[in-house]
């Protein structure tokens, strides 16, 4: 036991001086414990070979040896299935907040509508005169070094899209797994830049949604989002309709036209809010949302 403690102490000093993770040393060299314990017994016998040594195995000693052996076998088994590696990464990893490189989706002139399957996290949407959709994300990566975190981020994708007829469908990956066991990354915020000419349908997951619509030039339908902040440029020609539980959920710097007890089929959404500017040519319909904040931006 004394030899074991000496070697263990020397190993810990080596790890501190050379800035080596102690957990790595322990997990890589733990079988040495059995070698040292066995060597110490053999050395003790060798030093006392001229004496008659009576070896006695009581029940307590047998239990201790059994526990040591079974623990060693269990650790080896868990190492082979990858559990120990995951535990090691969990102990030494840190969280890094990184941003993905913007991904572009080309939208041809034949595309008229965009359907967005909103992610669980916060989604920010901006509009532009460009004909492309641009997607990016803020990602929380758990890794044992900044370099490893960037490698995992580069191997991951946050946005998928496909086109059917005149409609482009966009969805997001909420949780991304790196190719190495135990490393993970999670998207915390998504940013989407859309062509302003497209009609938009957003299918929410009770997620926060912020839309900077600019000069509104298309129709929008938002279903099942959480708290919604919608900003538009003053002078837009639009009509906004929404239904909420309570009048206090209609927020922003505009004067809502409020109609109470408007939904007889669903009494839970008994307050209808409406706002119109201009002729109301472009319509924004918000269904099954929470708080709705509408702001006119000069």
pLDDT band (50, 70, 90) for residue 100: confident
Name beta bridge partners: 128. 195
pLDDT value, residue 220? 96
**pLDDT score at 8:** 63
Dist. CA 193–CA 211, nearest whole Å: 10
Nearest to 243 by CA among 291, 199, 206: 291
Q: Is residue 112 scored above 70 in pLDDT?
A: yes
**Cβ–Cβ under 8 Å, residues 127 and 195:** yes
What's the pLDDT at 294? 95
Q: Is the CB of residue 152 less than 8 Å from the CB of residue 141?
A: yes
Helix-strand-coil percent breakdown of the chain, rounded to 5? 30, 40, 35
pTM for the structure as a whole: 0.66
DSSP secondary structure of 4-47: HHHHHHHHHHHHHHTT--HHHHHHHHTTHHHHHHHHHHHHHHHH
Q: What is the mean pLDDT of the chain?
A: 79
The pLDDT value given to residue 122 = 87
State yes or no: pLDDT of 169 exceeds 90.
yes
* The CA-based dihedral angle spanning residues 170, 175, 178, 181, taken in that order and rounded to the nearest 10 degrees: -150
Answer yes or no: are the C-beta atoms of 266 and 287 closer than 8 Å.
no
Residue with tokens 């990016």: 136
Q: At what angle do helices 59-80 and 83-92 cross, to 10 degrees?
A: 80
Confidence of residue 238 (pLDDT cuts 50, 70, 90): very high
pLDDT at 152: 72
> What's the CA gap between 205 and 166, in Å, rounded?
25
124-158 pLDDT, tens digit each: 999 998 888 998 888 888 777 788 778 777 766 56
Please, are residues 286 and 204 in contact by the beta-carbon 8 Å criterion? no
Average pLDDT over residues 234-246: 91
Q: What is the pLDDT of residue 282?
A: 95
Tell me what the mean pLDDT of segment 40-59 comes to.
Answer: 65
Distance from C-alpha of 211 to C-alpha of 223, rounded to nearest angstrom: 14
Query: pLDDT per residue over 52-81, tens digit each?
Result: 555 555 677 667 767 777 776 676 676 666
**Is residue 178 pLDDT above 60, yes or no?**
no
Mean pLDDT, to the nearest integer, of 212-233?
Answer: 92
φ and ψ at residue 188, rounded to 5 degrees:
-105, -25
Confidence band for 107, pLDDT divided at 50, 70 and 90: confident
Mean pLDDT over 32-60 rounds to: 67
Q: Are 237 and 278 in contact (CB under 8 A)?
A: yes
The H or E element containing residue 154 is: helix 146-154
Please answer whether residues 232 and 250 qualify as being in contact, where contact means their C-beta atoms are separated by less than 8 angstroms: no
pLDDT at 207: 86
Is residue 18 very low, low, confident or very high in pLDDT (cuts 50, 70, 90)? Answer: low
- Short-list 32, 42, 36, 25, CA closest to 1: 36
């Amino acid at each position: 036991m004394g030899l074991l403690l000496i070697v263990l102490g020397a190993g810990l000093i080596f790890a501190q001086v050379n800035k080596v993770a102690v957990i790595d040393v322990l997990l890589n060299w733990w079988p040495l414990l059995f070698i040292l314990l066995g060597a110490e017994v053999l050395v003790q016998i060798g030093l006392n070979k001229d004496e008659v040594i009576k070896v006695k195995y009581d029940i307590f000693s047998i239990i201790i040896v059994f526990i040591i052996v079974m623990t060693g076998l269990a650790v080896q088994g868990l190492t082979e299935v990858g559990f120990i590696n995951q535990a090691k990464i969990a102990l030494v990893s840190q969280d890094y907040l990184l941003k993905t490189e913007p991904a572009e989706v080309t939208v041809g002139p034949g595309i008229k509508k965009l359907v967005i399957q909103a992610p669980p996290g916060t989604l920010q949407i901006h509009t532009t005169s460009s004909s492309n959709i641009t997607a990016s994300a803020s990602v929380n990566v758990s890794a044992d070094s900044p370099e490893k975190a960037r490698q995992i981020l580069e191997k991951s994708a946050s946005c998928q899209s496909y086109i059917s007829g005149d409609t482009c469908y966009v969805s997001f990956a909420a949780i991304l797994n790196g190719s190495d066991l135990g490393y993970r990354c999670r998207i915390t915020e998504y940013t989407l830049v859309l062509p302003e000419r497209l009609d938009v349908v957003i299918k929410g997951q009770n997620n926060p949604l912020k839309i900077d619509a600019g000069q509104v030039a298309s129709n929008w339908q938002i279903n099942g989002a959480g708290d919604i902040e919608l900003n538009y440029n003053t002078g837009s020609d639009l009509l906004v309709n929404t239904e909420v539980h309570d009048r206090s959920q209609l927020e922003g710097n505009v004067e809502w036209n409020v109609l109470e007890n408007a939904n007889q089929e669903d009494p839970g959404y008994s307050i209808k809010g409406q706002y119109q500017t201009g002729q109301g040519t472009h319509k924004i319909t918000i269904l099954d949302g929470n708080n709705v904040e509408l702001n006119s931006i000069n």
